[in-house]
Amino acid sequence: MQPPTPAPPSDSAESRNLATRHAEPARARTRRLRELHRSFARELRRRTGVRAGGGIAVAIAAGFGLAIVVQPGDGESARPLIASSLWGISIFGVGPAAVSLAGHSREPCRDTRQLAALRGIDWTTVETARYGAGLSTLFGVALWPSVALCALAGFSSVDVALALSELALVVPVALYAAALAIALGTLAHVSVRLVPHHARFTVIALLLIPQLLRAIWPNTPSVPAAFDWLLGMTFRSTAP
Protein backbone atom coordinates (compact mmCIF):
# COMPACT_ATOMS: atom_id res chain seq x y z
CA MET A 1 0.00 0.00 0.00
CA GLN A 2 1.47 3.30 -1.09
CA PRO A 3 1.71 6.04 1.56
CA PRO A 4 -0.44 9.08 0.78
CA THR A 5 1.35 11.73 -1.23
CA PRO A 6 1.51 15.06 0.67
CA ALA A 7 -0.46 17.79 -0.97
CA PRO A 8 1.64 20.54 -2.56
CA PRO A 9 1.62 23.83 -0.70
CA SER A 10 -1.01 26.23 -1.87
CA ASP A 11 -0.17 29.47 -3.60
CA SER A 12 -1.36 31.40 -0.57
CA ALA A 13 0.97 29.46 1.74
CA GLU A 14 3.92 30.05 -0.56
CA SER A 15 3.07 33.74 -0.73
CA ARG A 16 2.95 33.96 3.06
CA ASN A 17 6.31 32.20 3.41
CA LEU A 18 7.89 34.48 0.81
CA ALA A 19 6.49 37.58 2.48
CA THR A 20 7.82 36.40 5.85
CA ARG A 21 11.31 35.81 4.42
CA HIS A 22 11.32 39.31 2.94
CA ALA A 23 9.87 40.92 6.07
CA GLU A 24 12.55 39.53 8.39
CA PRO A 25 15.49 41.39 6.77
CA ALA A 26 13.39 44.58 6.65
CA ARG A 27 12.56 44.33 10.35
CA ALA A 28 16.17 43.53 11.21
CA ARG A 29 17.41 46.54 9.22
CA THR A 30 14.88 48.79 10.96
CA ARG A 31 16.01 47.50 14.36
CA ARG A 32 19.68 48.07 13.48
CA LEU A 33 18.84 51.54 12.21
CA ARG A 34 17.15 52.43 15.51
CA GLU A 35 20.16 51.16 17.49
CA LEU A 36 22.55 53.24 15.42
CA HIS A 37 20.27 56.27 15.63
CA ARG A 38 20.31 56.09 19.44
CA SER A 39 24.10 55.68 19.43
CA PHE A 40 24.63 58.72 17.21
CA ALA A 41 22.13 60.77 19.22
CA ARG A 42 24.08 60.03 22.40
CA GLU A 43 27.28 61.13 20.66
CA LEU A 44 25.72 64.37 19.46
CA ARG A 45 24.24 65.26 22.86
CA ARG A 46 27.75 65.08 24.33
CA ARG A 47 29.16 67.61 21.86
CA THR A 48 29.97 71.03 23.33
CA GLY A 49 28.18 73.00 20.62
CA VAL A 50 24.98 70.98 20.95
CA ARG A 51 24.99 71.25 24.73
CA ALA A 52 25.71 74.99 24.52
CA GLY A 53 22.97 75.51 21.94
CA GLY A 54 20.48 73.60 24.04
CA GLY A 55 21.42 75.59 27.13
CA ILE A 56 21.09 78.90 25.27
CA ALA A 57 17.68 77.84 23.92
CA VAL A 58 16.45 77.03 27.43
CA ALA A 59 17.83 80.34 28.76
CA ILE A 60 16.10 82.34 26.00
CA ALA A 61 12.79 80.58 26.62
CA ALA A 62 13.15 81.13 30.37
CA GLY A 63 13.78 84.85 29.89
CA PHE A 64 10.73 85.29 27.66
CA GLY A 65 8.72 83.08 29.97
CA LEU A 66 9.49 85.44 32.84
CA ALA A 67 8.33 88.35 30.67
CA ILE A 68 5.08 86.51 29.94
CA VAL A 69 4.43 85.83 33.62
CA VAL A 70 5.08 89.38 34.81
CA GLN A 71 3.21 91.16 32.00
CA PRO A 72 -0.09 92.74 33.06
CA GLY A 73 -3.04 90.35 32.90
CA ASP A 74 -5.09 92.49 30.53
CA GLY A 75 -5.87 89.76 28.01
CA GLU A 76 -2.98 90.69 25.72
CA SER A 77 -1.62 87.88 23.58
CA ALA A 78 1.87 86.54 24.26
CA ARG A 79 2.38 85.68 20.58
CA PRO A 80 4.95 88.46 19.92
CA LEU A 81 7.03 87.24 22.86
CA ILE A 82 6.80 83.61 21.71
CA ALA A 83 7.78 84.59 18.15
CA SER A 84 10.76 86.61 19.41
CA SER A 85 11.82 83.73 21.62
CA LEU A 86 11.63 81.24 18.77
CA TRP A 87 13.66 83.54 16.54
CA GLY A 88 16.34 83.85 19.22
CA ILE A 89 16.35 80.08 19.72
CA SER A 90 16.73 79.58 15.96
CA ILE A 91 19.77 81.87 15.73
CA PHE A 92 21.57 81.37 19.04
CA GLY A 93 20.44 77.85 19.96
CA VAL A 94 19.92 75.79 16.82
CA GLY A 95 22.62 77.69 14.90
CA PRO A 96 25.56 76.68 17.17
CA ALA A 97 24.16 73.15 17.41
CA ALA A 98 24.11 72.88 13.59
CA VAL A 99 27.71 74.13 13.38
CA SER A 100 28.70 71.53 15.98
CA LEU A 101 26.82 68.92 13.97
CA ALA A 102 28.93 69.82 10.94
CA GLY A 103 32.02 69.15 13.03
CA HIS A 104 30.80 65.62 13.64
CA SER A 105 33.46 63.62 11.79
CA ARG A 106 32.39 61.29 9.01
CA GLU A 107 34.18 58.52 10.89
CA PRO A 108 31.95 57.31 13.75
CA CYS A 109 33.36 57.01 17.24
CA ARG A 110 34.69 53.69 18.52
CA ASP A 111 31.44 52.65 20.23
CA THR A 112 29.42 53.22 17.07
CA ARG A 113 32.01 51.46 14.87
CA GLN A 114 31.91 48.45 17.19
CA LEU A 115 28.12 48.43 17.15
CA ALA A 116 28.05 48.60 13.34
CA ALA A 117 30.62 45.81 13.02
CA LEU A 118 28.83 43.62 15.56
CA ARG A 119 25.48 43.98 13.81
CA GLY A 120 26.90 43.70 10.30
CA ILE A 121 25.55 47.14 9.36
CA ASP A 122 26.40 48.57 5.95
CA TRP A 123 27.70 52.13 5.47
CA THR A 124 24.45 53.38 3.90
CA THR A 125 22.59 52.48 7.07
CA VAL A 126 25.27 54.20 9.14
CA GLU A 127 24.92 57.41 7.13
CA THR A 128 21.12 57.27 7.30
CA ALA A 129 21.22 56.86 11.08
CA ARG A 130 23.72 59.71 11.41
CA TYR A 131 21.52 62.02 9.34
CA GLY A 132 18.37 61.12 11.29
CA ALA A 133 20.12 61.62 14.63
CA GLY A 134 21.26 65.07 13.54
CA LEU A 135 17.76 66.10 12.52
CA SER A 136 16.18 64.84 15.73
CA THR A 137 18.85 66.61 17.82
CA LEU A 138 18.27 69.99 16.16
CA PHE A 139 14.51 69.45 16.32
CA GLY A 140 14.68 68.90 20.06
CA VAL A 141 16.81 72.02 20.63
CA ALA A 142 14.22 74.16 18.82
CA LEU A 143 11.02 72.42 19.93
CA TRP A 144 10.98 71.70 23.64
CA PRO A 145 11.81 75.18 25.02
CA SER A 146 9.28 76.71 22.59
CA VAL A 147 6.56 74.21 23.52
CA ALA A 148 7.16 74.94 27.20
CA LEU A 149 6.81 78.65 26.47
CA CYS A 150 3.51 78.11 24.60
CA ALA A 151 2.20 76.06 27.52
CA LEU A 152 3.25 78.74 30.01
CA ALA A 153 1.54 81.43 27.93
CA GLY A 154 -1.63 79.37 27.72
CA PHE A 155 -1.88 78.47 31.39
CA SER A 156 -1.03 82.00 32.57
CA SER A 157 -3.68 83.66 30.40
CA VAL A 158 -6.78 85.01 32.13
CA ASP A 159 -8.97 84.60 29.07
CA VAL A 160 -10.08 81.07 28.13
CA ALA A 161 -10.27 81.72 24.37
CA LEU A 162 -6.86 83.39 24.40
CA ALA A 163 -5.41 80.53 26.49
CA LEU A 164 -6.63 77.96 23.97
CA SER A 165 -5.20 80.08 21.16
CA GLU A 166 -1.77 80.17 22.85
CA LEU A 167 -1.82 76.42 23.49
CA ALA A 168 -2.77 75.78 19.86
CA LEU A 169 0.50 77.45 18.84
CA VAL A 170 2.24 74.19 19.69
CA VAL A 171 1.32 72.75 16.28
CA PRO A 172 2.71 75.54 14.03
CA VAL A 173 5.72 75.90 16.32
CA ALA A 174 6.44 72.18 15.91
CA LEU A 175 6.14 72.48 12.12
CA TYR A 176 8.51 75.46 12.12
CA ALA A 177 11.00 73.58 14.31
CA ALA A 178 10.83 70.58 11.96
CA ALA A 179 11.49 72.76 8.89
CA LEU A 180 14.40 74.47 10.66
CA ALA A 181 15.92 71.14 11.74
CA ILE A 182 15.61 69.66 8.24
CA ALA A 183 17.20 72.72 6.59
CA LEU A 184 20.14 73.14 8.97
CA GLY A 185 20.62 69.41 9.52
CA THR A 186 20.75 68.77 5.79
CA LEU A 187 23.17 71.68 5.31
CA ALA A 188 25.47 70.27 8.00
CA HIS A 189 25.24 66.71 6.66
CA VAL A 190 26.01 67.73 3.09
CA SER A 191 28.92 69.90 4.26
CA VAL A 192 30.41 66.96 6.16
CA ARG A 193 30.16 64.74 3.10
CA LEU A 194 31.56 67.27 0.60
CA VAL A 195 34.20 69.11 2.66
CA PRO A 196 34.75 66.95 5.75
CA HIS A 197 37.84 68.87 6.90
CA HIS A 198 36.18 72.30 6.67
CA ALA A 199 32.51 71.47 7.24
CA ARG A 200 32.04 73.88 10.15
CA PHE A 201 33.47 76.82 8.24
CA THR A 202 31.31 75.88 5.24
CA VAL A 203 28.14 75.97 7.33
CA ILE A 204 29.11 79.27 8.97
CA ALA A 205 29.92 80.81 5.58
CA LEU A 206 26.68 79.64 3.98
CA LEU A 207 24.67 81.04 6.88
CA LEU A 208 26.47 84.33 7.49
CA ILE A 209 27.85 85.58 4.16
CA PRO A 210 24.49 85.83 2.34
CA GLN A 211 22.97 87.47 5.42
CA LEU A 212 25.78 90.05 5.53
CA LEU A 213 25.35 90.72 1.83
CA ARG A 214 21.75 91.68 2.49
CA ALA A 215 23.07 94.89 4.07
CA ILE A 216 24.30 95.86 0.58
CA TRP A 217 21.82 93.98 -1.61
CA PRO A 218 18.60 93.54 0.39
CA ASN A 219 17.21 90.96 -2.04
CA THR A 220 20.08 88.52 -1.47
CA PRO A 221 18.56 85.17 -0.42
CA SER A 222 19.79 83.74 2.87
CA VAL A 223 18.78 81.00 5.28
CA PRO A 224 18.16 83.36 8.25
CA ALA A 225 16.02 85.65 6.07
CA ALA A 226 14.02 82.68 4.79
CA PHE A 227 13.23 81.48 8.29
CA ASP A 228 12.48 85.00 9.47
CA TRP A 229 9.84 85.14 6.72
CA LEU A 230 8.57 81.64 7.61
CA LEU A 231 8.29 82.57 11.28
CA GLY A 232 6.31 85.69 10.43
CA MET A 233 4.00 83.72 8.17
CA THR A 234 3.52 81.06 10.85
CA PHE A 235 2.32 83.53 13.47
CA ARG A 236 0.30 85.68 11.07
CA SER A 237 -1.55 82.70 9.64
CA THR A 238 -2.52 81.44 13.09
CA ALA A 239 -3.50 84.81 14.55
CA PRO A 240 -6.92 84.73 16.27
Does 220 reside within a domain? yes
Residue 41 within any structural domain of the chain: no
Q: Is residue 193 part of a domain?
A: yes
Q: Which residue has the higher pLDDT, 32 or 107?
A: 32
Q: Identify whether 22 is part of a domain.
A: no
Question: What mean pLDDT value characterizes the chain?
Answer: 83
Average pLDDT (163-169) is 91
Q: What is the pLDDT of residue 43?
A: 86
Residue 204 domain boundaries: 48-237
pLDDT band at 18 (very low <50, low <70, confident <90, very high): very low
Q: Is residue 6 part of a domain?
A: no
pLDDT exceeds 50 at position 200: yes
Q: Per-residue pLDDT tens for 40-71?
A: 888 888 899 999 999 999 999 999 999 998 87
| Number of independent structural domains in the chain | 1
Domain assignment present for residue 184? The answer is yes
pLDDT score for 39:
82
Residue 175 has pLDDT above 90, yes or no: yes
100-157 pLDDT, tens digit each: 998 865 555 555 656 666 566 677 777 788 899 999 999 999 999 999 999 999 998 8
Cβ contacts of residue 27 below 8 Å, gap of 6+? none
2 falls within a domain: no
Is residue 8 in a domain? Answer: no
pTM: 0.82
